[in-house]
Structure formats: C-alpha cells, structure tokens
Amino acid sequence: MEKEHSLLIVALDMNRAFWMDQANAQVKAEDKARVCFSTALEAAIVYMNAFSLMHRLNKLCFIAMGTQESKMIVPGEDGSIEKFRSDVFLAARRTDRLLREQELAQFQAKQELAQLPPNPSEQPEKKGETQKIKLAQALSKGLCYANRLKLMPKHDSLKVHIVVLMGSNDPSAQYNALMNTVFGAQRIAATIDCIALGQKESTFLQQVAYLTGGVYLKPDDQSNLLQYLLTFCLPSQHTRKMLKFPKHEQVDFRASCFCHKNPVDIAFVCSVCVSVFCRFSPECPTCGTRARPKKIKC
C-alpha cells in the first residue's frame, strides 16, 4: 500500500465513430485483438477501483472525451454524483459500495456515448478516419480538479496521476492547447500515462507521456487492456524505478501544421498566437496578424 495518497484521472475516448469502427472490424474480420467500448470501460473502472484500494484517501476522477466537449463523469460537474472514496477497512459494506459506484459510472459513461449527436456533417470524410476529440479540454479539466483538491490542507501533498485511453486520430488543431496542459502538468509534477487504441501511432500521446515522465503504450492485443493498466499504469513513480518499464526509444517531436494537419520539420510560426504553418501566408489564418517579412541581404 502506498504511503502518500494520490489522485487518479482517467480520460476515456468517447468518439462513437471510432468505437463503431472497432466493433465492425471485430465482427467482420473476427479480430479479437481489438477492444470494444464495453470492455474498455469495464477495464477502466476495474483499474480505478484497484487504484482506490492502494490508499484510503485516494481520489478518483473519470472524464469522457467527446468530439464536441469533454465531460467529467465522476465526480459530476454538477455535484449530482457522489465522489469516489476508498476505505479498505469497511470490508463488505465498502465492497458493495464499490460495485454500486462502478455500475453508476458505467451507466453514466454509456449514457454520454449514446447522447453524442450523429451529425452527418461531422462524419469522417475518408475511410478509417475518425473525428477529433477534445483531448486538451479533458486534460485541462482534470488539472483544474487536481489544483482545486491541492488547495485543501489535507490534500496539499496530493500526487496526481493521469491515464489517457484514446483511439481517435491526433487533434492537430489542439496542439498548442495540449502543450500548455503538459506544461501545467509538469508544474504540479503530474504523470500522464497514455495508451493508444487506434491502428496508428499517436504522436501527441508519445510527446505527452515523454514530457511528463509517463508510459506510452500501443498494445498489439487490446483484449488484455486491463492487464496493461494494472501492470504499467498502477505502480507509482517510486515503484517504477525498481521495475523495468518500456522506454521511449523513438518520439516524434515534430509539430503539426494548422493548415494541412501534417507533421513538419521546418515551418512558419506566427509570433502572436504561435500557430504553425507549412506555407507562408501574409496574414495569419488563426489570429489575423499581418506578417512583415524582412529581406535578408546576402
């Protein structure tokens, strides 16, 4: 059992287009290596319950990352859902309560997924392409909740641990906001572990995990998602020093241009809003600032 209590923030991808692709591929090709939404949600909840048993003061937060907004499911943003509490000394009564809260969180998450509007204009244009989720918004809400808890005297030494489960494509337009949340996480020494559930490697998740000292995983067999969570994401930073964890061998630190959403090595950067573009434009499409390039004398 850990000596210091922690806050666990789990951000789960709620992109309905991605989970429909996962389910269709699992049915048509009988690909058992892909995980469905129910299995991913159950694995996340079991992992959260395991984390709550590590310390009696551990706090839990569950955020649903949608394509239009990210919502905090547990604890509820409106205070309607009771916060998760852990007390391993209450034996049977505590076990029943964990089960009830698990069913509540599962029901709320499925309800959020069902309420996503099927707008045809937001459907992917190309086959295999998914909508962009509000990743930066989810991390910002989690960090705001962590800072609010750290203001309390009994939680001033609270350790923050964030786990991101994402299968959608990287939201290129959110790169600046995402890096700002990473810098905020570094300031409070928060660790962000990232698990990519999509078919492609996630450049953004690699950068986020590397900059915050977390773990980036892209499991080949997603049916063992719970085992990955308990093995790589449950140990604390102190315990990880004594374990052999996967290293970040190749991390792509290239930024994505705002015009074509492609990674670039050399680009034009707006001096006002720090937007990145692969081609020169006399006026910044993001903030409207007019560029005044100076001629370089050879």
CATH code of the domain covering residue 180: 3.40.50.410
Find the domain containing 62 and state its range. Answer: 6-240
**Cβ contact 76:7 at 8 Å:** no
Structural domains of the chain, count: 2
- Whether residues 77 and 208 share a domain: the answer is yes
pLDDT tens per residue, range 210-219 = 999 999 999 9
pLDDT tens per residue, range 20-72 = 888 888 777 666 678 888 889 889 988 988 998 888 888 989 898 988 888 88
- How far CA 283 is from CA of 104, 159, 177, 218, in Å, comes to 50, 44, 21, 39
**Cβ contact 255:267 at 8 Å:** yes
Q: Which pTM was predicted? A: 0.79
Q: In this predicted structure, what is the pLDDT of residue 227?
A: 94
Give dist(CA 45, CA 40) in Å, integer: 9
- Whether residues 137 and 88 share a domain: the answer is yes
Count other C-beta atoms under 10 Å from residue 50's C-beta. 15
- Whether residues 173 and 197 share a domain: the answer is yes
**Secondary structure element (H or E) that encloses residue 56, with its range:** none
Give dist(CA 243, CA 123) in Å, integer: 43
Give dist(CA 51, CA 61) in Å, integer: 11
**Cβ contact 40:110 at 8 Å:** no
Within-domain flag for 72? yes
- Whether residues 158 and 262 share a domain: the answer is no
**Cβ contact 204:183 at 8 Å:** no
Within-domain flag for 277? yes
- Whether residues 235 and 259 share a domain: the answer is no
Record the tokens describing residue 106, joined without a space.
Answer: 């599962």
Within-domain flag for 165? yes
Record the tokens describing residue 131, joined without a space.
Answer: 């909508």
pLDDT tens per residue, range 153-192 = 888 889 999 999 999 998 887 888 899 999 999 999 999 9
Within-domain flag for 134? yes
Q: What percent of the chain has pLDDT over 90?
A: 29
- Whether residues 134 and 264 share a domain: the answer is no
* Helix pair angle (175-187, 135-150), 10° resolution: 20
Q: What angle do CA 172, 178, 181 make, to 5 degrees?
A: 175
